[in-house]
Amino acid sequence: MKYLLLFLLGVLGLCAADKPCLFCEIAAGRLEASMIWRDESVMAFLSIGPRNVGHVLVVPVQHAEGILDLPPATAHHMMDVAQKIVRAIKQTDLPAEGFNLKLNSGAAAGQTVFHVHLHVIPRFAAEPPEPPPGTRVAKAQLDPIADKIRAKLDLAATL
Ligand code: 5GP
Ligand code: ZN
Protein backbone atom coordinates (compact mmCIF):
# COMPACT_ATOMS: atom_id res chain seq x y z
CA MET A 1 0.00 0.00 0.00
CA LYS A 2 2.81 2.40 1.01
CA TYR A 3 4.63 1.67 -2.27
CA LEU A 4 1.45 2.19 -4.30
CA LEU A 5 0.98 5.59 -2.65
CA LEU A 6 4.62 6.54 -3.32
CA PHE A 7 4.21 5.43 -6.94
CA LEU A 8 1.04 7.52 -7.39
CA LEU A 9 2.70 10.58 -5.80
CA GLY A 10 5.67 10.11 -8.15
CA VAL A 11 3.37 9.96 -11.21
CA LEU A 12 1.52 13.08 -10.04
CA GLY A 13 4.84 14.88 -9.53
CA LEU A 14 6.02 13.93 -13.01
CA CYS A 15 2.75 15.14 -14.55
CA ALA A 16 3.07 18.49 -12.73
CA ALA A 17 6.69 18.83 -13.87
CA ASP A 18 5.66 18.16 -17.47
CA LYS A 19 2.78 20.64 -17.43
CA PRO A 20 3.53 23.39 -19.96
CA CYS A 21 3.47 27.01 -18.79
CA LEU A 22 -0.01 28.42 -19.55
CA PHE A 23 1.24 31.82 -20.68
CA CYS A 24 4.03 30.29 -22.84
CA GLU A 25 1.27 28.22 -24.46
CA ILE A 26 -0.69 31.43 -25.15
CA ALA A 27 2.47 33.13 -26.50
CA ALA A 28 3.01 30.18 -28.86
CA GLY A 29 -0.62 30.28 -30.04
CA ARG A 30 -1.35 26.79 -28.68
CA LEU A 31 -3.82 28.12 -26.10
CA GLU A 32 -6.48 30.70 -26.95
CA ALA A 33 -6.75 34.05 -25.21
CA SER A 34 -8.76 37.22 -25.74
CA MET A 35 -5.75 39.15 -26.98
CA ILE A 36 -5.46 42.93 -26.72
CA TRP A 37 -1.82 43.67 -27.50
CA ARG A 38 1.10 41.79 -28.98
CA ASP A 39 4.56 42.97 -29.98
CA GLU A 40 8.04 41.35 -29.94
CA SER A 41 8.42 41.39 -26.17
CA VAL A 42 5.01 41.95 -24.55
CA MET A 43 1.47 40.68 -24.97
CA ALA A 44 -1.73 41.57 -23.11
CA PHE A 45 -4.93 39.55 -22.87
CA LEU A 46 -8.01 39.34 -20.67
CA SER A 47 -7.85 37.24 -17.51
CA ILE A 48 -10.19 34.26 -17.66
CA GLY A 49 -10.88 34.78 -13.96
CA PRO A 50 -11.50 38.52 -13.95
CA ARG A 51 -11.71 40.50 -10.71
CA ASN A 52 -13.85 42.98 -12.69
CA VAL A 53 -14.89 43.38 -16.33
CA GLY A 54 -11.84 44.47 -18.35
CA HIS A 55 -9.24 42.77 -16.09
CA VAL A 56 -6.17 42.60 -18.35
CA LEU A 57 -2.89 40.73 -17.87
CA VAL A 58 0.26 42.28 -19.36
CA VAL A 59 2.72 39.47 -19.95
CA PRO A 60 6.27 39.09 -21.36
CA VAL A 61 6.40 36.92 -24.49
CA GLN A 62 9.59 35.22 -23.25
CA HIS A 63 9.12 33.07 -20.15
CA ALA A 64 10.21 34.71 -16.89
CA GLU A 65 8.95 33.42 -13.56
CA GLY A 66 9.07 36.40 -11.22
CA ILE A 67 9.91 40.10 -11.22
CA LEU A 68 13.68 39.53 -10.86
CA ASP A 69 13.75 37.17 -13.84
CA LEU A 70 12.52 39.91 -16.18
CA PRO A 71 14.98 41.87 -18.33
CA PRO A 72 14.61 45.49 -17.10
CA ALA A 73 13.74 46.72 -20.61
CA THR A 74 10.84 44.25 -20.74
CA ALA A 75 9.66 45.28 -17.26
CA HIS A 76 9.63 48.92 -18.38
CA HIS A 77 7.82 48.05 -21.58
CA MET A 78 5.17 46.09 -19.63
CA MET A 79 4.44 49.26 -17.67
CA ASP A 80 4.23 51.28 -20.91
CA VAL A 81 1.73 48.78 -22.32
CA ALA A 82 -0.26 48.77 -19.06
CA GLN A 83 -0.50 52.57 -19.25
CA LYS A 84 -1.76 52.38 -22.85
CA ILE A 85 -4.36 49.83 -21.75
CA VAL A 86 -5.61 51.98 -18.87
CA ARG A 87 -5.93 54.90 -21.28
CA ALA A 88 -7.76 52.72 -23.80
CA ILE A 89 -10.20 51.27 -21.22
CA LYS A 90 -11.06 54.80 -20.10
CA GLN A 91 -12.06 55.57 -23.70
CA THR A 92 -14.46 52.61 -23.90
CA ASP A 93 -17.90 52.38 -22.32
CA LEU A 94 -16.54 49.80 -19.85
CA PRO A 95 -17.05 51.12 -16.32
CA ALA A 96 -13.94 51.97 -14.28
CA GLU A 97 -13.51 54.61 -11.57
CA GLY A 98 -9.88 53.70 -10.86
CA PHE A 99 -7.32 51.03 -11.66
CA ASN A 100 -5.05 48.64 -9.81
CA LEU A 101 -1.76 47.75 -11.50
CA LYS A 102 -0.60 44.75 -9.54
CA LEU A 103 2.17 42.19 -9.91
CA ASN A 104 2.26 39.15 -7.63
CA SER A 105 5.82 37.77 -7.58
CA GLY A 106 6.14 34.45 -5.72
CA ALA A 107 3.58 32.09 -4.23
CA ALA A 108 3.68 33.94 -0.90
CA ALA A 109 2.54 37.09 -2.74
CA GLY A 110 -0.39 35.29 -4.37
CA GLN A 111 1.22 34.35 -7.71
CA THR A 112 -0.59 31.33 -9.15
CA VAL A 113 0.68 31.39 -12.75
CA PHE A 114 4.48 31.32 -12.62
CA HIS A 115 5.06 33.34 -15.76
CA VAL A 116 5.26 36.87 -14.47
CA HIS A 117 2.37 39.22 -15.36
CA LEU A 118 1.09 42.66 -14.48
CA HIS A 119 -2.62 42.84 -13.64
CA VAL A 120 -4.56 45.89 -14.88
CA ILE A 121 -7.83 45.86 -12.94
CA PRO A 122 -10.69 48.38 -13.23
CA ARG A 123 -11.85 49.35 -9.72
CA PHE A 124 -14.81 51.14 -8.12
CA ALA A 125 -15.42 53.05 -4.91
CA ALA A 126 -18.47 50.87 -4.24
CA GLU A 127 -16.86 47.69 -5.48
CA PRO A 128 -19.10 44.91 -6.84
CA PRO A 129 -18.65 41.68 -4.87
CA GLU A 130 -15.44 39.82 -5.73
CA PRO A 131 -16.11 36.71 -7.82
CA PRO A 132 -15.27 33.52 -5.93
CA PRO A 133 -11.80 32.14 -6.80
CA GLY A 134 -11.87 29.87 -9.80
CA THR A 135 -14.86 31.58 -11.45
CA ARG A 136 -14.04 31.35 -15.14
CA VAL A 137 -15.54 33.46 -17.89
CA ALA A 138 -16.04 31.92 -21.35
CA LYS A 139 -13.93 33.27 -24.22
CA ALA A 140 -17.13 34.13 -26.12
CA GLN A 141 -17.98 36.57 -23.32
CA LEU A 142 -14.43 37.97 -23.07
CA ASP A 143 -13.82 38.52 -26.80
CA PRO A 144 -16.23 41.48 -27.24
CA ILE A 145 -14.58 43.20 -24.23
CA ALA A 146 -11.11 42.63 -25.74
CA ASP A 147 -12.39 44.02 -29.08
CA LYS A 148 -13.59 47.22 -27.38
CA ILE A 149 -10.25 47.81 -25.66
CA ARG A 150 -8.21 46.94 -28.77
CA ALA A 151 -10.25 49.35 -30.89
CA LYS A 152 -9.37 52.23 -28.54
CA LEU A 153 -5.74 51.12 -28.24
CA ASP A 154 -5.24 51.65 -31.94
CA LEU A 155 -6.29 55.28 -31.50
CA ALA A 156 -4.52 55.79 -28.17
CA ALA A 157 -1.19 54.07 -28.66
CA THR A 158 0.98 57.17 -28.24
CA LEU A 159 2.54 57.72 -24.84
P1 5GP B 1 -1.74 35.49 -10.27
O2 5GP B 1 -2.58 34.91 -9.15
O3 5GP B 1 -0.67 34.52 -10.74
O4 5GP B 1 -1.20 36.86 -9.97
O5 5GP B 1 -2.76 35.70 -11.47
C6 5GP B 1 -3.06 34.71 -12.40
C7 5GP B 1 -4.05 35.30 -13.37
O8 5GP B 1 -4.08 34.51 -14.53
C9 5GP B 1 -5.49 35.36 -12.83
O10 5GP B 1 -6.09 36.60 -13.18
C11 5GP B 1 -6.16 34.20 -13.57
O12 5GP B 1 -7.54 34.39 -13.71
C13 5GP B 1 -5.43 34.23 -14.88
N14 5GP B 1 -5.41 32.99 -15.63
C15 5GP B 1 -5.13 31.74 -15.14
N16 5GP B 1 -5.15 30.84 -16.15
C17 5GP B 1 -5.42 31.53 -17.28
C18 5GP B 1 -5.58 31.14 -18.65
O19 5GP B 1 -5.46 29.98 -19.05
N20 5GP B 1 -5.89 32.13 -19.54
C21 5GP B 1 -6.03 33.44 -19.15
N22 5GP B 1 -6.34 34.33 -20.10
N23 5GP B 1 -5.90 33.84 -17.87
C24 5GP B 1 -5.59 32.89 -16.95
ZN1 ZN C 1 5.92 30.73 -19.45
CB 36 within 8 A of CB 153: yes
Cα(3)–Cα(64) distance, integer angstroms: 37
CA distances to 26, 35, 37, 70, 72 from 67, in Å: 20, 22, 20, 6, 9
Is the pLDDT at 120 greater than 60? The verdict is: yes
CB of 129 within 8 A of CB of 73? Answer: no
CB 21 within 8 A of CB 63: yes
- Residue 101 CA to residue 121 CA, distance in Å, equals 7
Which DSSP letter does residue 38 get?
E
Q: What is the pLDDT of residue 49?
A: 96
23 lines ligand 1 (CB under 6 A): no
Ligand 1 centroid to residue 45 C-alpha, Å: 10
Residue 21, ligand 1, Cβ within 6 A: no
Q: Is the CB of 33 under 6 A from ligand 1?
A: yes
Q: How confident is the model at residue 122 (pLDDT cuts 50, 70, 90)?
A: very high
Exposure of 65 by Cβ count < 10 A (0-12 exposed, 13-18 middle, 19+ buried)?
middle
The β-bridge relationship of strands 56-60 and 98-102 is unpaired
Residue 52 has pLDDT above 70, yes or no: yes
Domain ranges for the chain: 33-152
Give per-residue pLDDT as tens, 58-98: 999 999 999 999 999 999 999 999 999 999 999 999 999 99
Taking domain 33-152, whether its CATH number is 3.40.190.10 is answered by no
How many other C-beta atoms lie within 10 A of the C-beta of residue 99? 20
